Amino acid sequence: MRKEEERRRSWWHQWGEETFAAYLFLLPSLVIFAVFVFFPLFFSFYASLTRWNLPFKPSFIGPGNYRYLFTDPIGASEFRRSIWNSFYYALGVPLNMAISLAVALLLNQKLRGVSLFRTAYFLPTITSTAAISVIWLWIYHPADYGLLNSILMRLGLSPLRWLRDPHLAMPALILMGVWHGMGYNIVIFLAGLQAIPTHLYEAAEIDGAGSWARFWKITWPLLGPTTFYVLVIGIINSLKAFTQMHVMTEGGPLGATTTITYYLYQQAFENFAMGRASAVACVLFVLLFVLTLIQFKVVGSRIHYE
Amino acid sequence: MWHSKRARRIAFAIFWYVLLGTTAVIVMLPYIWMISTSLKGPGEIFTYPPKLIPRAWRFQNYVEAWNAAPFGRYFFNSALVALVVTIGQLITCSLAAFAFARMEFKGKNVMFALFLSTTMISTQVTLVPSYLVLKALNWLDTYQALIVPFLANAFGVFMMRQYFMTLPRELEDAAKLDGCGRLRFLWQIVLPLSKPIIASQALFAFMSNWNAYLWPLIVTTSEHMRTLQIGLRYFVSQEGGTQWGLFMAATVFVSLPIVIFYLIVQKSFIEGIATTGIKGA
């Protein structure tokens, strides 16, 4: 009897107490995650199966919202366009990467003033998207006194309508996005470049390899994981983009910049169709989930291994 | 002489500075344009061709912009929310990180995976139900709505855990001998040894909350609850989109604090991104 009690006490002492304490330490985070991450996630699945137009109560309708998004003549065309627009916006990612890598290569030199340039390139990244969007709203002003138009006119070209032109609005947002996101990519690329051992370059130089060959034979393959990481994160962030659309175009003109996140926002907070919005959220979740899994699989989580 | 190694190096340096200098100017141009417009009167703004340097510097724009909307209130809201979230995150993250780094407990791997999985679920996906939760709690348009959902952060937990794991094991033994409990050990010994990671974690938390847009947009309805970013957007859209001198002045004072902040702490900020890949906003 006493032995049993002793055993129990020592179990409590060795495992029970520490386990109990550990969960107390995790508790604050767990509560927040439970209420604002896990519950909403499962609730989204449920809500996506209801017709729920605020301020009315939800009613269960099964896969009706998904049918609307994928087969309804109006719904499907809007939804397909929003997904198309999101991936169109993501075309800025490779463009951004090419420029960022070029700048990172330039910055990866032992010359004076490197940090000054790095500061300049990084400034747009820390400025809020809302502020950036207001500045570019003015740069893209369709009158002749808009900065970009005045440059075009000085070059002898005619002014453009930029954000008010359905064909130009998205390219305009992409251009701004490249400018905004460059600094982040440059920093990541620089870290990747600096991790490449210098003796490889020295050996290649002895073998008479030119700088072009050195880039394609050493830098590019060894930078592979970094490049892939930047690509996937860039696409994920493109799918999440919202602020610039809300400040600059409100999804227009003619829905040309209504991306999937913006479409979700419209359904939920302009039409108050919570069920339909939840169905969009579930599709977005699957897209983001797949992308994140790809990133974890190929590069590994940077959190885990670095 | 051109063929000498020294001459080639100088030629390369000149080429390098010109190339990087030109791109830097292009990158800075929107900022220069913003400041230039913020100092122009309406007469100068709407003329072609636009001049980069204003003829008469109109600092009055800043005063007028500041008074045209409750920007003081917006500043207060943004600062309060970002500050409380930062402090709250540091507390929840260091507690959880301590458990993961320095304690053995049942279900540790499951818990770790659970924390990791939250990083795959973004605000965009949980937007609607989170909004409904706040509505049910009657929290819409309150500071709780802006603060509470962000009081936990798995990225922060992982960053701190990595750091805590590097501290020597013997610390615990010494602390146990002194009869020091875990909380006191964390507060008095681990945290003071972890200043660099606390600083960069605080930085990320502050920046991303200061710059946040989507969440404050949907949970605030009255003007006096808006944060700076939302206030700026409504200022620009409500004034009918013509007062560009005032808009640019407002954009300057909305973005300036974070730029100054960044210039002061940029070293640890950039190192933080380079090692973790996380950034604010």
CATH code, domain carrying A132: 1.10.3720.10
Cβ neighbour number for residue A66 with a 10 Å cutoff:
18
**What secondary structure letter does DSSP report for A59?**
E
Which residues in chain A are closer than 8 Å to B154, comparing Cβ atoms? 29, 33
Residue of B82, B77, B80 lying closest to B205 (CA atoms): B82
CA R_g for chain A? 26
pLDDT in tens, B18-51: 988 888 899 999 999 999 999 988 888 888 788 8
User: Which residue in chain A has the smallest CA separation from B31?
Assistant: A135
Query: For a pLDDT cut of 70, what percent of chain A falls above it?
Result: 92
What does chain A come to in residues?
306
Residue A145 inside a domain? The answer is: yes
Contact between chains at A28 and B95 (C-beta distance less than 8 A): yes
Residue A98 inside a domain? The answer is: yes
Please classify residue B255 by burial: count the beta carbons closer than 10 Å to its beta carbon, then call 0-12 exposed, 13-18 middle and 19+ buried. Answer: buried
Please classify residue B79 by burial: count the beta carbons closer than 10 Å to its beta carbon, then call 0-12 exposed, 13-18 middle and 19+ buried. Answer: middle
Q: What is the DSSP string of B60-119?
A: HHHHHHHHHTTHHHHHHHHHHHHHHHHHHHHHHHHHHHHHHHH---TTHHHHHHHHHHHT
Chains A–B, number of C-beta pairs less than 8 Å apart: 270
- Tell me: pLDDT of B278 over 70: no
Backbone angles phi, psi at A140, to 5 degrees: -85, 10
Task: Decide if B50 touches A, using CB distance below 8 A.
Answer: yes
Residue A109 inside a domain? The answer is: yes
Task: Decide if B279 touches A, using CB distance below 8 A.
Answer: yes
Contact between chains at A129 and B158 (C-beta distance less than 8 A): no
Residue A191 inside a domain? The answer is: yes
User: How do the domains of chain B map onto residue ranges?
Assistant: 63-276
pLDDT value of residue A204: 84
Tell me the nearest-neighbour CA distance from A18 into chain B, angstroms.
6
Alpha carbon A278 to chain centroid distance?
A: 20
pLDDT value of residue B96: 96
Alpha carbon A214 to chain centroid distance?
A: 32
Distance between CA B219 and CA A38 in Å, rounded? 19
Question: What residues contact A199, with CB distance under 8 A and at least 6 apart?
Answer: none
pLDDT value of residue A299: 67
User: Whole-number mean pLDDT of chain B?
Assistant: 87
Residue among B108, B154, B251 whose CB faces A135 most closely: B251
Domain that residue A210 falls in: 82-305
Distance between CA A197 and CA A82 in Å, rounded? 44
User: pLDDT confidence of B263, banded at 50, 70, 90?
Assistant: confident
Contact between chains at B214 and A242 (C-beta distance less than 8 A): yes
pLDDT value of residue B272: 67
pLDDT in tens, A218-244: 889 889 888 998 999 999 999 999 999
Residue of A292, A286, A275, A293 lying closest to A83 (CA atoms): A286
- Tell me: pLDDT of B195 over 90: no
Report whether A170 contacts A95 (CB < 8 A).
Answer: no
Which residues in chain A are closer than 8 Å to B49, comparing Cβ atoms? 145, 150, 153-154
**What secondary structure letter does DSSP report for A35?**
I
Distance between CA A15 and CA A25 in Å, rounded? 15
CA R_g for chain B? 25
Residue A52 inside a domain? The answer is: no
Per CATH, which fold does B63-276 belong to?
A: MetI-like fold (1.10.3720)
Residue A182 inside a domain? The answer is: yes
User: pLDDT confidence of B91, banded at 50, 70, 90?
Assistant: very high
Report residue A201 as tokens: 């370059």
User: pLDDT confidence of B280, banded at 50, 70, 90?
Assistant: very low
pLDDT in tens, A126-182: 899 999 999 999 999 988 888 999 999 889 898 899 999 999 999 999 999 999 999
**ipTM, 2 decimals?**
0.88
Interface test with A, best of B115, B125, B126, B197 (most A CBs within 10 A): B125
Residue A69 inside a domain? The answer is: no
Query: Residue B220, by phi and psi: left (phi above 0), alpha (psi -120 to 50) or beta?
Result: beta
User: pLDDT confidence of B240, banded at 50, 70, 90?
Assistant: low
Contact between chains at B266 and A119 (C-beta distance less than 8 A): yes
Residue A15 inside a domain? The answer is: no
Specify the number of domains making up chain A: 1
Task: Decide if B2 touches A, using CB distance below 8 A.
Answer: no
Tell me the nearest-neighbour CA distance from A69 into chain B, angstroms.
16
pLDDT value of residue A7: 61
Contact between chains at B122 and A40 (C-beta distance less than 8 A): no
Report residue B146 as tokens: 């802006």
Distance between CA B278 and CA B139 in Å, rounded? 30
Tell me the nearest-neighbour CA distance from A268 into chain B, angstroms.
7
Q: Pick the more confident residue, B198 or A55.
A: B198
**What secondary structure letter does DSSP report for A50?**
E
Distance between CA B107 and CA B105 in Å, rounded? 6
pLDDT in tens, A259-284: 999 999 999 999 999 999 999 999 99
